[in-house]
Amino acid sequence: MFAFASETAFLITLLNIGFMLFVIFIQRRNTAATWAWISAIALLPIGGFFLYMIFGQDSRKQRVFLKKSMEDEALQECYESMGNAIEGEITDDNRVMLFHDGVSKFDVLLADIENAKEFIFIQYYILRGDTTGKLLINKLTERARAGVEVYLLVDGMGCSFTSHKIYQPLIEAGGFLGRFMPPVPVRINFRNHRKIVVIDKHIAYLGGANIGDEYLGKKKRFGEWRDTHMRLTGGSVSPLTLRFIMDWNCESTEKLIKLPLNICYFSPKSINSTLGAKVRILSSGPDTRYPNILHGFCCLIMEAKTSVYIQSPYFVPDDALFTALRIAALSGVDVRVMYPANPDHLLVYWAASSYVGELMCAGVKGYEYTKGFLHAKTLMVDSKVCAVGTANMDVRSFKINFETHAFIENAPLTQELEEAFRRDMNYCNILSLEKYKKRSVITKIKESFSRLFSPLL
């Protein structure tokens, strides 16, 4: 009996060593992630490797998305040759309307959908089969019956619990449905986290709010839902249109081959919108050469002179972002970070607490939002420049998921976001460095454990 147990333990040890070597050579480009996975395998013999096979496999990314990258580059060249703006270019004829909650955004979105005449491109990470989701599908179905081309793209994992029946009326009315990477064991990662809507060549939506009752504050679990979303018109609509087409063509058999012409024309004046905003649309993900959104964040922070305000539901910065924030704070910049006190992922919460605690030692101010759930993904710098979109301040958004963000140069818009930040401070626990240093041993253990696996969160 003892001999059998010894042989089994020896075999498991050999297998684990083999698994570790496999991870080292497969994951070799990311040292932090490599060490995190090795720790997981060591702590969870055999099981840790199976978790890696489901959630890791960085090398598979290159094979799965190489074809998409090549097709995307060809589309961008064709699109740009038509005179349309593409990602990375700055357009300065934009109007931007901000929404600070899901209700106001959803109401205006439905109104724009009702007025659609040509096409509706709509893409969400989560679309629930609840009252809110059914209302949206009904509106899309009505426009499809009226002859409007409707293309709905949802993420396979984000909508894995949404019944296919909810989409049936839209499909029967002539609309098209695409599922981005349906979840199978090797596709847990690489989720399409974008929320993009384009309507009739001149209206686009981008931001943090998905489609579901909780995003309208109708779920007791989270209470009032605090989010940031945008309605854009002008030149920024062009790259958002192209981004939807590239994502749609990646997964759907119904290819969007024809490109809408003359996307970037100026639309009529919108109530409560900011005119003349300079907007640069950036996307990043497994199909982009660089983590463009992360680079954009770091550039803005490193150029800050007076203030940096950040709101994110998940704050797990990589080394570059963490260093940029620390340098800014040590240089005398007023750096403030806000994240929810009521988390939906405890490991991420404790990791965020660890990072913010360390940053507070450099002078960063930390805030935990207590009035419901904070889901806004915003960065404001010097009351002049801001960034709003789908990417959280975490490693997953920077390097694993598909994300899109708008980087906007406009003082009134940035100041509106800063004012919203200051209002939110009234509903926050203001974090104290003195109190943080006196945290319990149990809290320190939770933070250390979560911090260890932060490259995987």
Instruction: Break the chain into its structural domains and give their ranges.
Output: 2-56, 68-279, 292-456
Rounded CA gap, 168 and 205, in Å?
Answer: 24
Return the structure tokens found at 294. 């992360």
Mean pLDDT of 151-176: 95
Rounded CA gap, 257 and 356, in Å?
Answer: 46
Please tell me the least confidently modeled range out of 81-85, 389-393, 412-416. 81-85
Choice between 117 and 439, residue whose per-residue pLDDT is larger: 117
- pLDDT, averaged across the chain: 85
Answer yes or no: is pLDDT of 187 > 60.
no
Choice between 82 and 54, residue whose per-residue pLDDT is larger: 82
Nearest to residue 425, comparing CAs of 333, 353, 306, 338? 338
Catalytic residue ranges? 193, 195, 200, 375, 377, 382
Return the structure tokens found at 438. 């006196």
Please tell me the least confidently modeled range out of 61-70, 74-83, 327-336. 61-70
Percent of the chain scored above 90 by pLDDT?
60
Choice between 15 and 445, residue whose per-residue pLDDT is larger: 445
CATH architecture observed for domain 68-279: 2-Layer Sandwich (3.30)
Confidence of residue 219 (pLDDT cuts 50, 70, 90): confident
Note the pLDDT of residue 348: 83
CA dihedral sign, ordered 396, 401, 402, 403: negative
Altogether, the residues listed in the chain come to a count of 457
Beta bridge partners of 417: none
Choice between 231 and 54, residue whose per-residue pLDDT is larger: 231
Please say whether the beta carbons of 231 and 197 come within 8 A. no
Answer yes or no: is pLDDT of 164 > 70.
yes
Letter for the amino acid at 337?
V
Q: What is the pTM of this model?
A: 0.86
- Parallel, antiparallel or unpaired: strands 149-155 and 119-124: parallel
Give every CB contact of residue 164 below 8 A, 6+ residues apart in sequence: none
Percent of the chain scored above 70 by pLDDT?
78
Query: Helix, strand, coil % (nearest 5) of the chain?
Result: 45, 25, 30
Nearest to residue 338, comparing CAs of 454, 457, 218, 226? 226
Rounded CA gap, 365 and 231, in Å?
Answer: 30
CATH topology of domain 292-456: Endonuclease; Chain A (3.30.870)
Q: How far apart are the first and last CA of the chain?
A: 40
Answer yes or no: is pLDDT of 365 > 80.
yes
Please say whether the beta carbons of 390 and 404 come within 8 A. yes
Answer yes or no: is pLDDT of 325 > 50.
yes
Answer yes or no: is pLDDT of 266 > 50.
no
DSSP string, 183-214: --GGGSS--B---EEEETTTEEEEES--BSGG
Note the pLDDT of residue 201: 86
Mean pLDDT of 230-245: 94
Note the pLDDT of residue 267: 44
Answer yes or no: is pLDDT of 60 > 70.
no
Confidence of residue 282 (pLDDT cuts 50, 70, 90): very high
Tell me, yes or no, if the two domains 68-279 and 292-456 fold the same way.
Answer: yes
Letter for the amino acid at 253?
T
Confidence of residue 38 (pLDDT cuts 50, 70, 90): low
Mean pLDDT of 431-439: 89
Q: By three-state DSSP, how is residue 368 classified?
A: strand
Confidence of residue 80 (pLDDT cuts 50, 70, 90): confident
Q: Which of 56-65, 219-228, 358-367, 429-438 has the highest mean pLDDT?
A: 358-367
Please say whether the beta carbons of 48 and 40 come within 8 A. yes
Rounded CA gap, 245 and 453, in Å?
Answer: 35
Confidence of residue 97 (pLDDT cuts 50, 70, 90): very high
Q: Count of CB atoms within 10 A of residue 216's CB?
A: 22
